[in-house]
Amino acid sequence: MKQTEPDNFISIGLSIASGEGKVQTEVESLKPSRDLTGAENIIAEEITGRHSGPRSNKIANSNTGYGCDDVAVDTHREPVVARRKNASTQLTESFVDDLKEKELAAADGSADILDLVLQDMEFDEAYSLYQSMQQKQARSAVEQLQRVQMLNSQYCMSIQGSQADSNSPPAGAQNGLDAIVDAFSSYHSQLQNNAGEHIHHNLPSSIDQQASIEKNKPSADSSSNLLATDMANSANGSHGGLKTPRGDDFDQFFSNSESNALSKFLDNLANPLGSFNPISFYPSMPSYSPQHISELDLHTMKPMIPTPPSRHSPQQSMKAGPVGSEAADLDGSRNAKYGAFPHENAIHPLSMDSYNRRANDEVKNELTEAFSHPPSQALGETGFGGAHGVSQVPTPSNSRQSSAYALSPKRGIEDVESFEGSMSPSSTSATTPPSSPPSKRHRRTFHKPLLSLEQKRLNHSCSEQKRRQLCKLAYDRCLRLITNEDDYKESNHEEKKKSKRRHLTKEGLPNLSKYTALSRISNEIMKIQAKNEGLKKRLNMS
């Protein structure tokens, strides 16, 4: 894991450098209706989430897996901070993941062939499903965390309504960036100081410090309050989530672990001091959170920016837990692409909005790690005896997640798959107009080759049968026209001994060879034509 992560980052950077032109074209093609500045803003928003997501995820993984990985993490963090100051590089970065996914999906040959293979091999199918579900879990978790942070920042903004950035958006964005940089540097120092420590104790303090630097103390408090209050509500939400239908593809595979997780969760509901993080009940259960993506899409997509009504967004995002990154960003990019926030953009200035998102993404980085182990934190504070048993639960999922991410060549395909998969529940479960068309399109491409192969064969055989049937009918009709059944009945008795061939077929038609039948047809035509000619001649003569 230590070795593969830097490789991933290097490859990302290289693809950033190489795919710049492509990115620009894609930006324009994706947003033809908007002017480029608006697109830049949106992309800047996207990129913060998109890139901070996987990194924070990886950092969390490395920290949970190995306590002293922080130095390597810092080397990745600093380029991130440097990049955030540059808008153009943000632009390019924002679509690097997209490009990688698309290129991988196209170049490998890939999703289609993979699908074909998976259809045949059950184990491989199950394995890929499993991996894709893990990816989905990761994404959904970060998406939900992002929403929490968005809410937190909005809450903070509403409380400290006299902030300078709300009055002057560009300056506010700059301030936000500075604060972000400060937060990152402080986080670096924090990480370096606590390099040897376990991450469970490290992260809560780090997020507190970061909040104080950003003057977002109320937000952190509010987030914790929201966490505490909404965890009770999250029980209902999780029940609904568990019972709502999921993507049809994954039902049979994950039903057992799902039920196990549900039973665990119910047990913990009885114990109020127990873990509040439902995702911890899904150590090997990746299909839990994608559902919440759909629910979040449905319920919180609109009220995400307006502060008060979106209080149930954290309730679900708290359950998200440790892992995941890109689904949130994909979702955000989707919304940006399909113009899901037109009125919000109208209400808030674009730069203001982008600042909010950016700050939220920064908060999200910290929150991702901070909330990755809420059980350990809560239990550590309460001094509960069974802290170790619960706190160890998220770790395997993290390590597995990181291993899944370490498979860099396969990751693109899996991302595409999980992207589709994460989209599919939203399309099936409800009617969000912006998100349903792309998901349907993806699904169609997903299943197209299989169906077309089957359908091709079926159609071909059907049409061939139809053609032969028509041919046979026409041939029989011709035979009926040219044969006199009486002839055969008379001649049958005479010639029975001579040849076996002179029989009538089942349909009462003479058993003629094709050549003789056709020649008889032509003879018949000629005979009648000659008769008609003679009759016409007689008519003309008279």
Partner 1 sequence: MSDDDSKISKRRQTKKACLSEEQKKAHHIASEQKRRENIRSTFDKIVALTPSLNEHENRSELNILTKSADYIEALKQENDRLVALCRGRDIEVPSKLKYNGPGPEKMD
Binding piece for partner 1, criterion CB under 8 A, among 58-66, 374-382, 415-423, 470-478: 470-478
Which residue, 244 or 511, is less far from partner 1 as judged by CB?
511
Give the SS3 label for residue 288: coil
CB of 512 to partner 1, least distance (A): 12
Give the SS3 label for residue 258: helix
529 makes contact with partner 1 (CB under 8 A): yes
CA–CA gap between residue 104 and residue 69 (Å, rounded) = 29
Angle between helices 408-429 and 326-337 (to 10 degrees): 60
Residues 426-455 within binding reach of partner 1 (CB under 8 A): none
Contact 188, 201 (CB under 8 A): no
Which residue, 453 or 462, is less far from partner 1 as judged by CB?
462
Considering only CA atoms, give the Rg of the chain: 34
CB of 467 to partner 1, least distance (A): 7
Residue 42: phi and psi, rounded to 5, are: -65, -40
477 makes contact with partner 1 (CB under 8 A): yes
CA–CA gap between residue 328 and residue 146 (Å, rounded) = 7
CA–CA gap between residue 519 and residue 505 (Å, rounded) = 19
Can you read off the two tokens belonging to residue 255? 């039903």
The one-letter code for the residue type at 517 is A
141 makes contact with partner 1 (CB under 8 A): no
CA distances from 212 to 21, 134, 220, 361 (A): 40, 34, 9, 16
308 makes contact with partner 1 (CB under 8 A): no
Task: Using CB atoms within 10 Å of the CB of residue 410, give its burial: 0 to 12 exposed, 13 to 18 middle, 19+ buried.
Answer: middle
Among 259, 451, 481, 503, the residue binding partner 1 under the rule CB under 8 A is 481
Among 467, 489, 496, 501, the residue binding partner 1 under the rule CB under 8 A is 467
CB of 339 to partner 1, least distance (A): 54
Binding piece for partner 1, criterion CB under 8 A, among 39-47, 143-151, 356-364, 471-479: 471-479
462 makes contact with partner 1 (CB under 8 A): no
Contact 316, 242 (CB under 8 A): no
Residue 504: phi and psi, rounded to 5, are: -85, 145
**CB under 8 Å to 257, separation ≥6 — which residues?**
282, 284, 285
Can you read off the two tokens belonging to residue 439? 């998901």
CB of 499 to partner 1, least distance (A): 18
Among 343, 444, 496, 536, the residue binding partner 1 under the rule CB under 8 A is 536
Residues 488-527 within binding reach of partner 1 (CB under 8 A): 513-515, 518-519, 521-527
Q: Residues 2-41: x/- map of binding to partner 1 (CB under 8 A)?
A: ----------------------------------------
CB of 479 to partner 1, least distance (A): 9
Among 17, 121, 164, 470, the residue binding partner 1 under the rule CB under 8 A is 470
- Interface residues with partner 1 (CB under 8 A) are 467, 470-471, 474-475, 477-478, 481-484, 487, 513-515, 518-519, 521-529, 531-532, 534-536, 538-539, 542
